[in-house]
Structure 1
Amino acid sequence: MSEDPLYIRILEKLGVNTTRLKWKLYQKERKVQDIARTGIRPKGLQWLSYPHKICSHCHAINDKEARECSSCNRRLPNMLIYKISRLLTSAASGESPVIIQGFLGLMLLFFAIEISFGGFSMENIMMPDNYGLQVLGAFTTHIFQGPFQWFRWTAFGLLHGGLIHIGFNGYALYQIGPIIESQIGRARMLVLITVSQLGAALACYLWYFEINKINTLVIGASGWVFGLLGFGIILFHRMGIPSIRNQLSFWAVFMLGFGFMVGGISNAAHIGGMLGGMLIAILPAGGNVRMPGIDKAWAIIALFSILLWSVTIVFMFVSLSFNP
């Protein structure tokens, strides 16, 4: 990628994070290069003007007025419903960052539940009641109070200590999450988040409860956000995109430094999550026809990740029901 344009350098001087902007610029350059190489321009939504329907079952081409598929005799929708359904399918295609969107949704859901403990006042929105956080799964010494407290190892990555906290983590995810998910796919993205979260939890457990014997409360998605940063640094270094790699590196160093200077920030979670993300980055990525087992392994681990997060969420609601 060539030197950053002047407007990006100006934005960076003003302190604006331009990671997402640089990625879009990089993608635009790639599209221009692909067009120059192949002479083929992307068609976008050109299919909307096509005078036919494609059967969703057998993929046969049918006339736009057809009510049944000429190949499999399945019923076809009218043209308006057909176009709407295709648009919705396109929106939910592999290019959509479903994993990041899902986790952002969970973060917002549990933030709303946190606030409900103390009422929807501005004071409570800015700093929710600690009792609600402990009930929902904050990482505390509660993990030693029985086998059913294990869900806290993952649950605290969905909880936040106020509007600024969730706003910052949400912004970070918006900046880097879709970029990484578009490159590695949903299965690896889910595994990346899970391993980063577990790395953050393990680091907190060792640092706070084993080494320093501190009874503290840890919450926030920043542990696995740092996992995305660590993964992204290695990913974009390998892809030969130093501008994004350097941006992520600067962001990671800045936030770690900020965490050392300001109280109430868990650098243990940040470092643990980052190491977890880097671990995933150095593992074989898959997509090699000579090693099909790697893709299957990622899919299996992703299924375990889905199970882990699903059970975690169930336990969060169970804990909520026992501690209204």
Structure 2
Amino acid sequence: MNRQSPFANLTPVVKNLLIINLICFIPFIVLSDNNYNDLVVKNLGAFYFNSPYFKPWQPITYMFLHGGWAHILFNMFALFSFGPILEYAIGPKRFLNLYFICGLGAILFQMAVQAIEVHNLIGSFMAPFHFSLNDPTIPDQVKAIYYSPVVGASGAIFGVLVGFGMLYPNMELMLMFVPVPIKAKYLIPVYILFEIYSGFGQAAGDNVAHFAHLGGALLGFIMIKAWGYRGS
């Protein structure tokens, strides 16, 4: 008996996004942490718009980098699981637009929140370029914003998840460690509420860009609504 490959039914956009993300993960595997951060992340990760490391292409390139195995496996598993169904429903062109616009909206939303934080801390949206990590006049939160990049496809993935939930609200999903199927219309809003809680109550040591996730989710909601799709 011939067994069909689990990748046989992948839609073209999802398949190519998976391949590109996996290729972009190769430097993480082959380089040391310091070389990876210096050569890849400092150039292609997304830094705050006034950071000395910011470059205009970063709002696109950041979504193809990942900071570790758990990060890329979670994102690619979500893309593999939900992406093909959504791509079948709205078509390859719109799915690609949704993915990139949600990814771009995610980092812009994150930067907007960071700008508010910077303004609240120093009274301006832009700190002087010349400050160093040892400068006692600059709060540590501002230093973290200026010198900590955002990487990952999570913002785009959240847009895909929201789009999937809006089109297939009654589809039952199984979660790891939860033996009961949960409908998408319940699960995904709970996930969004968790991100809101985590974003506003971010604990020390939590380096997840929760507001980027929320930005991607918001753009996904707006685009599906604007295109006029309805749930089944």
TM-score normalised by L of structure 1: 0.50
Question: Residue 161 of structure 1 aligns to a residue in which SS?
Answer: coil
Identical aligned pairs, as a percentage?
26
Give 1:234 deviation, angstroms.
2.1
- Residues 197 and 223, structure 1, Cα contact 8 Å, conserved in 2: yes
| Residue of structure 2 aligned with 1:223, choices 149, 155, 174 | 155
Q: Which amino acid aligns with 1:150?
A: P
Q: Judging changes above 3 Å, is the alpha-carbon distance between structure 1 residues 189 and 211 closer, same or farther for their aligned structure 2 residues? A: same
2:207 to 240, 245, 264: 264
Query: What displacement does 1:210 show?
Result: 4.9
1:114 aligned partner = 28
Query: Structure 1 residue 211: deviation in Å?
Result: 3.3
Shift of 1:132: 3.3
For 1:272-306, what per-residue CA distance to the aligned partner results, in whole angstroms no more than 9, with x for missing partners?
Answer: 111111111111358xxxxxxxxxxxxxxxxxxxx
Task: Assess, with a 3 A threshold, how the Cα gap between structure 1 residues 207 and 180 changes in structure 2: closer, same or farther.
Answer: same
The verdict on how the C-alpha distance between 1:160 and 1:230 changes in structure 2, with shifts beyond 3 A counting, is: same
Q: Cα gap change, 1:141/1:248 in structure 2, threshold over 3 Å: closer, same or farther? A: closer
Residue 137 (structure 1) aligns with = 44
Q: Specify the alignment match of 1:70 in structure 2.
A: none
Find out whether 1:166 has 2:77 as its counterpart: no
**Deviation at residue 180 of structure 1 after TM alignment:** 0.9
- What is the alpha-carbon root mean square deviation over aligned residues? 2.9
| Alignment check: 8 A CA contact 2:110 2:212 kept | yes
Alignment of 1:213-252 (within 5 A): 213=142, 214-215=145-146, 216-237=148-169, 241=171, 243-252=183-192
Paired residue total: 183
- The within-5 A match list for 1:58-77 is none
> 1 CA distance for matches of 2:195 and 2:218?
15
Considering only CA atoms, is the larger Rg found in Structure 1 or Structure 2? 1
Q: Determine the structure 1 residue equivalent to 2:57.
A: 151
Q: What is the alpha-carbon distance in structure 2 between the residues aligned to residue 171 and residue 128 of structure 1?
A: 27
Indicate how the Cα distance of structure 1 residues 176 and 112 shifts in structure 2: closer, same or farther if over 3 A, else same.
same
- Aligned counterparts, 1:1-324, within 5 A: 96-118=10-32, 129-141=36-48, 149-212=55-118, 213=142, 214-215=145-146, 216-237=148-169, 241=171, 243-254=183-194, 260=202, 263-285=206-228
Bigger proportion of residues as helix:
1
Higher relative contact order (CA 8 A, sep 6+): 2
Letter in 1 for 2:220: G
Measure how far apart 1:105 and its partner are.
0.9
Secondary structure in structure 1 of the residue aligned to 2:31: helix
String of CA shifts for 1:214-234, please: whole Å, max 9, x gaps.
212100111111111222222
Q: Which runs of 5+ in 2 are unaligned?
A: 1-7, 119-141, 173-182
Amino acid paired to 1:131:
D
Shift of 1:198: 1.2
1:167 deviates by 0.9
**1:104 Cα shift?**
1.1
Task: Call closer, same or farther: CA 1:142–1:249 in 2, change over 3 Å.
Answer: closer
Contact 1:99 1:186 in 2 (8 A): yes
Distance 1:102 1:136, change over 3 A: farther
Q: CA deviation at 1:195?
A: 1.1
Deviation by residue 1:19-56 (Cα, 9 ceiling, x = unmatched): xxxxxxxxxxxxxxxxxxxxxxxxxxxxxxxxxxxxxx
Question: Secondary structure in 1 aligned to 2:227?
Answer: coil
